[in-house]
Amino acid sequence: MRRLVFLIAAIAVAPCAAEEMAKGFVYLRDVDPTILQDMRYAGTKNFTGHAVNGYDAPECVLVREAADALKAAQEEVKAKGLSLKVYDCYRPARAVKAFVDWSKLPDDAKAKATYYPALPKSALFPDYIALVSGHSRGATVDLTLVPLDAPAVPPSASSGEAMACTAARGQGAPDASLDMGTAFDCFDVKANTEVPGLAPEQRQNREMLFDVMRRHGFKNYEKEWWHYTLESEPFPSTIFDFPIEPRDAKPQ
């Protein structure tokens, strides 16, 4: 229901130039380069099967306040032998439009088997894919926890076979993250933050992520264990649409 509010709320379009990073936004890598980044929508490892419009570089971009809060959270989890890993951060409005356009296409059998095995495409909006996304305000992040000593796994690593995001660990593409009970971008009730049937380790891992993010000012979206928004976000009513460009393309 929270996302339905976005559809009827008065949402402002950012007045800044559409192709320029808005003032107040930063590259997370410039704030904390130790936070791992696996930016799924800049590549093919996502439910659309291709890089999404607006993701011109695999970089996490956020408002400064959210990036600083993540840096503080990273310091806490590093003391536990863990690291944050982000999957998505700021999302241009044009990318949200691309998701809507994708929803009108015929089902791709592999994508359905992997990302929404138990649901029709029509059921993905707005509970799992918002028609107007909080990500476009720059203070929302999708993330997980990874052991500090985990082996580096290329984001493109894949078994080559469609494997449901709800499948048991060890059966799908390697991710090196803690077991949260489902993969990222799993459009299924099992991805709800609090859901019956989780193994004790999975529930403990979700609670650990929830607790650390809450301590650093983030609130969770209850249908997605990986989705957090900074409660004191600086642009609560503004949607941005500048593309995510390579970090080295920006003047330093």
List active site positions: 224
Cβ–Cβ < 8 Å for 36, 73? no
Query: How far is the C-alpha of 4 from the C-alpha of 6, rounded, in Å?
Result: 5
Q: Count CB neighbours of 173 within 10 A.
A: 16
Query: How far is the C-alpha of 191 from the C-alpha of 186, rounded, in Å?
Result: 6
Distance of CA 235 to the CA centre of its chain: 19
* Strand pairing class (36-37; 140-147): unpaired
Token pair for 197: 């049937």
Token pair for 170: 């060890």
Distance of CA 221 to the CA centre of its chain: 11
> Is the Cα dihedral 22, 242, 89, 195 positive or negative?
positive
Query: How far is the C-alpha of 130 from the C-alpha of 174, rounded, in Å?
Result: 27
> Is the Cα dihedral 116, 205, 69, 151 positive or negative?
negative
> Rounded to 5 degrees, what angle do the CA atoms 100, 102, 103 make?
65
Please give the single-letter amino acid code of residue 10. Answer: A
